Amino acid sequence: MISKSFRFFSARLVSRGAVLLLALSLALACPASAQKKKKKDDTPPPPPSSVINSIPDEQKIDTTIGEMLGAWQVGDTTALHKYIAEDISVVNGVWAPPVIGWVNYLAAYQAQRARSQQVRLDRSNTLVRIAPSGTVAWACYQWEFTATVDGVPSAADGQTTLVLEKRGDDWLIVHNHTSLIQASQPAAPANPAPQPANPAKP
């Protein structure tokens, strides 16, 4: 029953030729375990560390960003913290000093998340670059955000640049700079009130 083992590994691994060959050789090298009948309550073994270490850093960073955004959308702060460094700095979205450190970021995130429901953020056009040192990287991407904020449907487009640092085997986000490009406002009423000739200055 090598096919079961092969299907398991090929479904879990990225479709890079070298990694696929490694998975096939692992399946063929373990015929006894491949022939063992799988019980319903068996959990699949984790991929061998050699397979994890063979994944390129660019792909690890892209996965880190995707999993971080997934946790961000659903409000899972424990999972979110896995990808964000304790000493993170975040450029503030309003005219205010940067947010420094996980504790301060968490407080700002939770205040924002408490006002939002049905949160969705779609990422596109991700670009990842790694410095020659191999320990620092940056990534930029565009995003589309939709949610109900304070009971009102809201949407916005923007872009983010992240700086990541490799600490051990993990890539952690150490800096976040997010810019809002366009915010969709609720539709104006059909008969808006007349505006004064000289509106008040802020």
pLDDT at 23: 34
Residue at 63 is within a domain: yes
Q: Is 135:88 a contact under the CB 8 Å cutoff?
A: no
pTM for the full predicted model: 0.64
Domain count, the chain: 2
**43 with 132, same domain?**
no
**43 with 73, same domain?**
no
pLDDT at 45: 67
pLDDT at 96: 87
Q: Which residues contact 33 (CB under 8 A, 6 or more apart)?
A: 5
Strand pairing partners for 155? 146, 184
pLDDT at 48: 60
Residue ranges making up the domain that contains 89: 57-184
Which of the residues in the chain have pLDDT under 50? Answer: 1-39, 193-202
Q: At what angle do helices 2-12 and 17-29 cross, to 10 degrees?
A: 150
Q: Which residue has the tokens 């994944």?
A: 55
Residue at 81 is within a domain: yes
For 13, the token pair is 């691994």
pLDDT at 95: 82
pLDDT at 28: 31
What gap in Å lies between CA 11 and CA 14, rounded to an integer? Answer: 8
Residue at 201 is within a domain: no
Q: What's the gap between Cα 104 and its chain centre?
A: 20
